[in-house]
Structures are given as C-alpha cells and as structure tokens.
Structure 1
Amino acid sequence: MPTRPPRSPQRRVTARRAGAAVAGAGTAAVFYGSVIERNAFVLRRRDVPVLSPGSAPLRVLHLSDLHITAGQRRKQQWIRSLAALEPDLVVNTGDTLSAVNAMPAVLYALEPLAEFPAVFVPGNNDYYAPRPKNPLRYFQAPGDLPTGLTRLPWGEMAASLVDAGWTDLTHVRTVLAAGADGAAKVALAGTDDPHLRKARYELIAGAAEPGAAVRIGVTHSPEPTVLGAFAGDGYDLVLAGHTHGGQVRLPGIGAVVTNCGIDRARARWLHRWDEHMYFHVSAGLGTNPFSPIRFCCRPEATLLTLTPREG
C-alpha cells in the first residue's frame, strides 16, 4: 500500500505558524471581549411609530440585564448618567441583581432615574445568583429550571425599589402619567419571569386600556407565547431583555444563542410582531460575572422615541 510522504520541514513550519496565528487571534478576541467591549457601554436610539396621529412624542429609556455587582462602579456611574436624558418613562426589564451584597449598588445606580415615572419586572437572575458557565453556553437551555443555585433577596430588592419611587409591574396593570405636564397616559402591564415559568399572563389578561396614548407590555424573556398574548390584548409595544443580544455574536452569523423561544435573528433590538405591535429586545448592560465577555454585542441601554403611526 502506498504511504503518504512525510511533510517537508517547510510545511511543518507553516502549519505551526498557522496554529500560532489562530491561537493568537483567539486570545486577542477573548481579551477584547472581556476587557474592552464588555465595558464599552453605548446608548442606542430608536424611533417607534406606535402613537395616535398628532400625538406628541414620548421618550422611553429601556434598561435590561444590568447584572450589577458591588464593585462595578464604572457601570453604576454610567447608569446614573442616563438621568441627564430626562426620559418621559424608564422601564427596567429585569436581571438587575448579580450578587447577594449588590442591593446598595443597585439602589445607588438607579437612584437618579426614580425622578421620572419608572417601572420594573424581575428576571431569572434576580431570583438566583449566576454561576460559572462557558461564555458560549451562558444561558440555560430553554425550559430548564435552575437547581442548586444561591437565592437572591429579590423580595427585599423589589420593596426597596418601590420605596425609592419605582413601580413594580409584576403581574400588575396600571396607567401612569408621562410626557409634558403628565398629559400622556401610558397603559402598562407586566409579568413575572417567563424563563423560570413564573409568568402568569392570565393575571393581567384583558383588552389594553383603550383611552391611553400608548399601551406597553413589559416582561423579561421575549417568549413568543407572552408576546402573542400582549398582541392579542391590543398592546402597541412590548419591552424585554434576557438574551443579551446573544452576548457573543459572530460576523455573518449573529447571535449564537438566545435561550428563549425567540429566533436568533430577533435576539436584540426593534422588530414587528404583527401589523399592530412592535417589540424591543434590549441586549442589556451586563454579563454573568463568571462569563465576563461580549463580542460584537456592546452593552447597551436604549432611548426609544415613541412617535405617531403613519396615516
């Protein structure tokens, strides 16, 4: 049987150089994602045509997946600085905590934003502390429930936010005054976390407030069943997070995972659900402390300017 001739010395050198180049590129990518990009906070801006014709625009600051720990002073200061935007409404779609001792840091970071109408719902990592994971498998498979995790003091955290002026939207429907002189009535409804199977949409079901300037649904994980329920009740816009936009996105591929029922193509940013309702998925501001890397997916907050519908 003929045998393959041995590689020439030059081919062996070329192969070693190629391997070294690949390893070097991988190391550089990890360094960039864990040191540079995960701290490169950015404010996104999007227009959403969901108001009645002739309505004055409303500015909604959407925060999500802050994953705050006590030592993240840079992130805390950046969040505080968002108060300078003077939004008409602030919406936090969950995963705010990341450690048992993070409550003072959360309250400090969010304190200036309570000057405006502000609402929140919890996410899965508000109930349970994160644990070490491979960055490419940051999220649990859809439907998996956590076991053996450290519980976080979410009940105490939620009560402290309410005391600071925030509105807890967990299975609550309400109408808040927003805009200039509080002239715009914003109808809001929120759920508990769908990822942990805590969402009970039936507790808020029913036609959205018809007399409101806009009707907004709030949830942590953008599960299609929840989005469809909001759409069926006539909501104009749903805000969610959870996906981190994929957290690690690959050129030409996009999000590697979403860890929920939404497709990878809609793992972040603004999309239409149907002819009437939009939904916005924030890529969020944080990461699992044990997987502190983002790649091609900068940490973000979004200022949504609600504008009149065409026609």
Structure 2
Amino acid sequence: MTVSKNEIISDYVVVLGSGLSVNNLTLEERVLINSCPTKIGINKYAAFYNKAEISPTHVYFLDDFSHSSILFLKHIINFLKNKPLKEVNFILSKGYLGYFKKTKLSYYLTKFLSQINLFFYRLLILFFRKTIKPLNYKTFVSIKNKIKKILTPKDIIKFNVVPENFKFEYISVQNWIARGNKWATTIKDDLYHFRGSLTTVLNYISIKFPNKKILFVGVDFNSPHYFFQEELNKLDINATDWTSQYITSEKKHFSIIDYKNTKIDDEFPFIIKSLKETGNTIYSVSEKAYLVEKGFIKTIKLNTVN
C-alpha cells in the first residue's frame, strides 16, 4: 500500500515515537510526513523533533509522578517556546492543571501564593505533629491529608510561563497494568491506559479524530534506545526511572517486556477492535517495528514522487 501527499493531508493522523527507525527516514519521507496536519509526539519526542525534522502539532506527556519527569516536561516547554511552530497542543495529566500561565504577572503571583500555602502547610503539620500525633496517629494522618489537599501545590517546579500559541488539554487515565480496562468515548472519561503511553494516545485519537487512519513513525518498541540517544545523554536531566533497569536488561521498550505477566501484546487485539469501531486503522512506516513483526498492524510506503 502506497500513500500520497494528498492522502496524508486528508486521511491520516501521525503518531511520532522515539524509536531508532526515525533516523532511517529519507528527506523526502520526512517532508511528506510533515505535510500531515496532525502529528502527535509522544513523551520526550518534542524535545528532539528538530533532529527528526518532523514538527509535532501535539505533545503527549502524561508523567507527573516524579521530579525528573516534571523537569523534563519543563524542558520541553522551554525548548519549544522559541521554536517557529504555529501552534502546540499539549495533552497532559490533570496533575499539571493550573500550573501554566500566559503572563509573567500571573505566574509570579500564583507561584508566590503557592509558596505561602506551602509554608503554612509545613507550619500546621509541625503543630499537629507536636500536639495530635503523640495522642492519635490516625487522626494526625487524616488531618495532614486534608490540609495538604487544600494548601499544598503538587510541585512548585511545575509552574511555567507559556506563550499564547500553547494550548493545553488535561486528561486522566485508568490503571496502567490492569487487564480489561474500558475504552473511553469522551475526553472527560478516564482514558484507556495499558502498559504505556501509546495505548492512551490511540484512545485519544479515536475520540478526537474518528475515521482517520493512524500512521506510526518511530513507534518501534524493539530497542531500548531513542533516535536522539546521544543528545539525551548530554542533557543535565536524569531521564531514568524505575523501569530503566528492566529496559537495560531486556534491551527493548518497557511496553513489550513481560512485567507481572502482562505486556502490550495482551490487549492490542482489543485496541485494534476498539479503533475499528470509530473508523481508525493503524499503519507503520517501518517494516521492522515490533507491532508489524507480531502481525498486529501493516506497513505502508510513502509516495515521495508526487
């Protein structure tokens, strides 16, 4: 199957992964992929899109569970501020809601108030620790959690000033390792999530872009390395997390590593079936991608002549 530029523009949504196959794309293929009006960069991709020479229109970044992941999103935002992208649509965890400000005044005011809240939170916890905790530990924990919800910002470092062309959409997801999760039909629902970001991106596409074909670019899974590995290693950000030990050991993406008797293969037939119901079909530009080799999806060739 061969796809032309007109078809890419009218019929496709591109999913931009960070696999090594991106480095094998020809200049003509990159130009053709760039012509697609919707290109979703997953996780770290957006920070290195200039190496891929394929500009994302959307940035999917869900992680907000660790200091390093928050710092990396901050790096992506600061990196994209001075790039000539017409518009950038961020798809983020609801844990980031309220932290991005369009003016410096709003940014400094909100951050200042949050720091005051944090100070009073710590002061109150110190007070309760000295008075209530010695008497009743369960009561102390209950009061602590209630105060934290009211007074404490999740992370001061999440705050940032963003330009007007940055748009934000916030989502929540289901249990990442639970079998039989529900395929969401609205963005307000907890989106489907299983063993990695890709599954949630696919659910998102089914809601926002029904009846569109999906083109995987750099969604390889069969290597532990990124197409920007050298550039990543030079960043002053710790990009590792608890999954890194498994990735290093198995030498492949965490989504296809057997972890607690699960891997993305288990649910991919369900994902394909769910996408079919909204008129979405997945294709890959790489013949060596894991999901192609396993027979889940087919490849297409890009017509770079016309």
> Greater strand share, 1 or 2?
1
Which is richer in helix? 2
Same fold (TM over 0.5): no
TM-score (norm 2): 0.31
Query: RCO higher in 1 or 2 (8 Å CA, sep ≥ 6)?
Result: 1
Q: TM (normalized to structure 1)?
A: 0.31
